[in-house]
Amino acid sequence: MLSSLANRLYWMGRNLERSEATARLLQVYADLLLDLPKDAGIGWETLVRITGAEEAYGQARQWGVANAVLRYIAADQSNANSIINCIAVARENVRTLREVVPREGFESVNDLHLLAQKKLGRTSYVRVRFTILKEIVQRCQQISGLFEGTMSRGLAYDFLMLGRYLERADMTTRVLDVAGEALSLEDEISDHDALVWISVLRSSSGYQMYRQSVRSRVTPVRVLHFLINDLSFPRSIRFCLHEIRRSAGELPNGEAPARAVEDLLARMDGTTLKHLATSDLHGSLDAFQQDLIKVHEAISSTWFEH
């Protein structure tokens, strides 16, 4: 397989995952913020920080208006990570991947792009946002399912999965990082902190699964453990890393990326939850993110640039 083709598959995987995660995040936070008092320590700026867009946002907008934040994250052309741009990139990728992805895959991504172009930029945005965001999440899930259900397991599928799981792990660390900064990590938490931790779970689609597997009160340490380490939950960082390691093992010359994954797993093993919750959550998550960047670099230098 051509390196450039593998590269486009990887980035299509990343961009579809990012679109879905960002749409869900917006949905959950928009919902949450209606319930929180203004001094809750969490606000619209939290969203911008999770999506890594502070600087660009600061330059582009006056702070504080819900509508502006939503629009910036969802539909701003100047924000490289906005949903509309992620979908547009995924669509440009899939245009050149028609030979390796199922025809319905091309059509679905194309339709998603048309939907985003038509509806995300609309001015009456707050009013209709729930429907659109929900539809985007659903479409992305449908596309993921289509690829899983129709693509032969081979090079193309593995590169798509590398992109998806790397992006997913990255997104989970971001969500945790920002929540950890804004919220108390003590076991005894206030009602609205509890609400926010539940939202953290929901923005990873994890609330229901958490409830089934944890079966006790929501506490910061348990949420952290679930989203970082639970090997049965497909959005936990550890689960994503195992998937990346598996795909790397299937691919030719995958030693370096697999080693980079092992390094991060070793770091996670060496970081106890107690340590995470009590001393330096931000520092630990930041180290995880740096390691994820190294995994990406290993993937890139092994298969895309030579």
Partner 1 sequence: MDWSGYDNSQTYDELIGDNRLPRPVAAPLANYLSRLSQRQLQSRQKASERAIMAMGITFTVYSDGQNIDRAWPLDIVPRVLDGAEWNVLEAGLKQRLQALNLFIDDVYHEQRVVRDKVVPQHLISSSRDFLSRCVGANPAHGVWAHVCGTDLIRDADGTVYVLEDNLRVPSGVSYMIENRGVIKRVFPELFANMNIRPVDAYPSQLFDMLASLSPRGGDDPEIVVLTPGIYNSAYFEHAFLAQRMGAELVTGQDLVVEDDGCVYMRAVEGLIRVDAIYRRVNDTSMDPEAFDKESLLGTPGLFKAWYQGNVAIANAPGCGVADDKVVYSYVPDLIRYYLAEEPLLANVPTYRCSDESSMQYVLDHLPELVVKPANESGGYGMIVGPAASRGEIDRFRTLIKEQPRNYIAQPTIALSTVPTVCGDVIEPRHVDLRPFVLQGARSSVTAGGLTRVAMRKGSLVVNSSQGGGSKDTWVVDPS
Q: How far is the CB of 305 from partner 1 (least distance, A)?
A: 9
- When the beta carbons of 3 and 208 are compared against partner 1, the nearer one is 3
Is position 157 an interface residue for partner 1 (rule: CB under 8 A)?
no
Q: How far is the CB of 92 from partner 1 (least distance, A)?
A: 7
- When the beta carbons of 210 and 303 are compared against partner 1, the nearer one is 303
Q: Around Cβ 45, how many Cβ atoms within 10 Å?
A: 16
Is position 251 an interface residue for partner 1 (rule: CB under 8 A)?
yes
Q: How far is the CB of 160 from partner 1 (least distance, A)?
A: 13
Q: Which stretch of DSSP H or E encloses residue 34? A: none
- When the beta carbons of 73 and 116 are compared against partner 1, the nearer one is 116
Residues 6+ apart with CB under 8 A from 70: 26, 30, 125, 126, 129
Instruction: Check: CB of residue 106 under 8 Å from CB of residue 95.
Output: yes
- When the beta carbons of 125 and 304 are compared against partner 1, the nearer one is 304
- When the beta carbons of 96 and 150 are compared against partner 1, the nearer one is 96
Residue 173 CA to residue 24 CA, distance in Å, equals: 15
> Site for partner 1 (CB under 8 A): which residue of 39, 55, 99, 191?
99
Return the DSSP state at 272.
Answer: -
Is position 301 an interface residue for partner 1 (rule: CB under 8 A)?
no
Residue 22 CA to residue 188 CA, distance in Å, equals: 30
Is position 152 an interface residue for partner 1 (rule: CB under 8 A)?
no
Is position 211 an interface residue for partner 1 (rule: CB under 8 A)?
no
Q: How far is the CB of 306 from partner 1 (least distance, A)?
A: 6
Is position 153 an interface residue for partner 1 (rule: CB under 8 A)?
no
Only one of the segments 35-43, 67-75, 101-109, 197-205 lies at the binding site for partner 1 (rule: CB under 8 A); that segment is 101-109
> Site for partner 1 (CB under 8 A): which residue of 131, 253, 279, 290?
253
Residue 84 CA to residue 113 CA, distance in Å, equals: 8
Quote the tokens at residue 211. 């409830």
User: Which SS3 state, helix, strand or coil, does residue 216 take?
Assistant: coil
Quote the tokens at residue 21. 């995660």
Residue 31 CA to residue 45 CA, distance in Å, equals: 15
Is position 191 an interface residue for partner 1 (rule: CB under 8 A)?
no
Only one of the segments 1-9, 126-134, 163-171, 187-195 lies at the binding site for partner 1 (rule: CB under 8 A); that segment is 1-9
Q: How far is the CB of 259 from partner 1 (least distance, A)?
A: 17
Residue 143 CA to residue 163 CA, distance in Å, equals: 14
Q: How far is the CB of 106 from partner 1 (least distance, A)?
A: 7
Instruction: Check: CB of residue 237 under 8 Å from CB of residue 169.
Output: yes
> Site for partner 1 (CB under 8 A): which residue of 67, 96, 131, 150?
96
Q: Around Cβ 296, how many Cβ atoms within 10 Å?
A: 20
List the interface residues with partner 1, window 103-142 (CB under 8 A). 103, 106-107
Is position 303 an interface residue for partner 1 (rule: CB under 8 A)?
yes
Instruction: Check: CB of residue 216 under 8 Å from CB of residue 210.
Output: no
Give residue 239's identity as a one-letter amino acid code: F
Instruction: Check: CB of residue 125 under 8 Å from CB of residue 70.
Output: yes
Is position 90 an interface residue for partner 1 (rule: CB under 8 A)?
no
Length of the chain: 306
| Residues of this chain that bind partner 1 (CB under 8 A) | 1-4, 6, 92, 95-96, 98-99, 103, 106-107, 155, 159, 251-253, 303, 306
